[in-house]
């Protein structure tokens, strides 16, 4: 069913520029007046309570396992059912929201998005952060190794590290500036102080659906059958803490203090029309066989437009709108989602429903397409001047950082929602 050509009986879902048209149908977990967490689906400016749809008998044609899954308080059970069941639910929801014969029964199950509270979409068991933008890796590497910005393994394997899942939160939460050990290059001893070089990272969050067995690698052919959907993700970073701690084992306290997700998970089916070819420069090493396939080369990349916005305390005080700092596109990623899954499991590592991958900071080829302030300011050497005259080298207390993502254009847009968080002053150690 080509939902790009179908309208909904809900007017807001058909408006130009709507983030959640019938072709999207993203999932979220929300609560309303009853304070109970429910699974919902975004349609227009509403969210449909799937438990209410099931109780109304509108999902009776679906398998019992699927009907049970949509009544849960998190998406994990639904994620674990696999592609066939996800497809069946998507077809039924499309039918309910497009055929006016169902309108009278469906409307009582709809709630304005503005009237609900959002929560993490699932219980995140494990979190892996990748490093898939060669443009980001090159610009950051050049700050520390001008003559050799990329390490020898970068173009051979999707680099990643295992992060902390407990400190991942949903969009809208404020957090305090972290503290940690810092050491100036000319200092004799490190000190315990508040981070001075707080940064955002513009990333895509990738949610695993159907899990895998320990000891059983996932092939490129099957990789995306294990991916439930994507979300916007901000992997906040304390650059000065990171600079002191990252050798020899990589990030620790510089990354685990706070990370944030959009509440919406866009199913892979909604992204299908925006797939494009993935290429590797002829001069670069070509992937090993387990990371290569014809399908990945013809449609492994996805045209997802990504943006970073800032709203400072001064902007809020003067009723000024947020200002865009940068934009980039996920199609410029050096490694694809399928390659991340295949590499993650080639050693036999098992995946579970609700596991989260971070794509790594998504930066484009030009400096203004940088997905972090570390890049935009060239390591803090070139401050950015905002339209109101304020300058930024890194994120300051009172700043609100907003990440947005979408496919398509103003006529038909598949929105990933947004993740925005306010930085508060930290507690001095």
- pLDDT tens digits for range 49-101: 999 999 999 999 999 999 999 999 999 999 999 999 999 999 999 999 999 99
Residue 200 counted as an annotated binding residue: no
Q: Average of pLDDT values for 126-134?
A: 97
Mean pLDDT in residue range 318-330:
98
Give the per-residue pLDDT at 4: 55
Domains and CATH numbers, the chain: 3-119 (2.30.30.230), 127-424 (3.90.850.10)
Q: Residue 375, annotated ligand binder?
A: no
Question: Catalytic residues, which ones?
Answer: 136
Distance of CA 227 to the CA centre of its chain: 13
* pLDDT for res 6: 85
Residue 374, exposed/middle/buried by CB under 10 A (0-12, 13-18, 19+)? Answer: buried
203 marked ligand binding residue: yes
Q: Is 170 helix (H, G, I), strand (E, B) or coil?
A: strand
- CB 182 within 8 Å of CB 196: yes
Yes or no: say if 207 and 289 are a contact pair by the CB < 8 Å rule: no
Whether residue 127 is annotated as binding a ligand: the answer is no
Element containing residue 193 per DSSP (H, E): strand 191-194
Tell me the C-alpha distance between 6 and 99, whole Å.
Answer: 10
Q: What is the pLDDT of residues 225-241, one digit of tens each?
A: 999 999 999 999 999 99
Mean pLDDT taken over the chain: 96
C-alpha pair distances (Å), 12 with each of 57, 238, 392: 25, 40, 38
Residue 60 marked in a binding site: no
Edge-to-edge strand ranges of the sheet holding 175-176: 175-176, 413-424, 400-408, 305-311, 323-329
Please determine, for residue 2, whether its predicted confidence score (pLDDT) is greater than 50: no
pLDDT score at 33 = 87
Neighbours of 238 (CB within 10 A): 28
- Residue 5 pLDDT > 80: no
Tokens of 53: 């749809």
Is it the case that residue 1 has pLDDT exceeding 80? no
255 is in an annotated binding site: yes
Residue 235 annotated as lining a ligand binding site: yes
- Residues 344-370 have a mean pLDDT of 98
- Ligand-binding annotation for 289, yes or no, is no
Tell me the residue ranges of DSSP E strands in 245-386: 259-261, 266-267, 275-276, 301-302, 305-311, 323-329, 356-358, 384-385
201 is in an annotated binding site: yes
Higher pLDDT, 34 or 106: 106
């Amino acid at each position: 069913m080509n939902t790009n050509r179908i309208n909904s009986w809900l007017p807001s879902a058909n408006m130009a520029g709507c983030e959640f048209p019938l072709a999207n149908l993203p999932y979220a977990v929300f609560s309303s007046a009853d304070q109970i967490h429910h699974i919902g689906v975004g349609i227009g400016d509403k969210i449909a309570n799937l438990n209410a749809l099931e109780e109304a008998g509108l999902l009776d044609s679906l398998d019992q396992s699927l009907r049970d899954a949509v009544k849960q308080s998190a998406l994990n059970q639904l994620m674990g059912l696999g592609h066939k069941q996800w497809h069946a639910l998507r077809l039924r929801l499309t039918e309910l929201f497009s055929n006016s014969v169902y309108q009278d029964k469906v409307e009582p199950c709809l709630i304005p998005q503005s009237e609900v509270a959002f929560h993490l979409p699932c219980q995140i068991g494990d979190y892996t952060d990748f490093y898939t933008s060669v443009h980001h890796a090159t610009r950051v590497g050049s700050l520390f190794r001008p003559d050799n910005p990329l390490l020898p393994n970068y173009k051979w394997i999707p680099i990643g590290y295992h992060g902390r899942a407990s400190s991942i939160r949903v969009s809208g939460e404020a957090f305090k500036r972290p503290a940690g050990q810092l050491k100036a290059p000319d200092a004799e001893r490190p000190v315990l102080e508040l981070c001075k070089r707080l940064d955002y990272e513009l990333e895509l969050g990738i949610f695993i659906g159907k899990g895998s067995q320990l000891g059983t690698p996932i092939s490129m052919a099957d990789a995306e059958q294990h991916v439930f959907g994507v979300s916007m993700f901000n992997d906040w970073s304390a650059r000065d803490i990171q600079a002191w701690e990252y050798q020899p084992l990589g990030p620790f306290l510089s990354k685990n203090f706070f990370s944030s997700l959009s509440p919406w998970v866009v199913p892979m089916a909604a992204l299908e029309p925006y797939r494009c070819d993935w290429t590797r420069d002829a001069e670069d090493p070509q992937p090993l066989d387990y990371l290569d396939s014809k399908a990945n080369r013809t449609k492994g990349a996805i045209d997802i437009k990504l943006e970073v916005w800032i709203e400072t305390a001064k902007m809020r005080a003067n009723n000024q709108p947020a200002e865009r700092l940068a934009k980039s596109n996920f199609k410029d990623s050096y490694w694809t989602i399928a390659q991340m899954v295949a590499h993650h499991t080639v050693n036999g590592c098992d995946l579970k429903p609700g596991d989260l991958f971070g794509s790594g900071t998504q930066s484009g080829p030009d400096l203004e397409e940088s997905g972090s302030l570390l890049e935009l300011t060239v390591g803090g050497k070139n401050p950015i001047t905002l339209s109101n005259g304020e300058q930024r080298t890194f994120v300051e207390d009172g700043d609100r950082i907003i990440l947005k993502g979408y496919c398509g254009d103003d006529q038909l847009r598949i929105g990933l929602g947004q993740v925005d968080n306010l930085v508060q002053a930290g507690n001095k150690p």
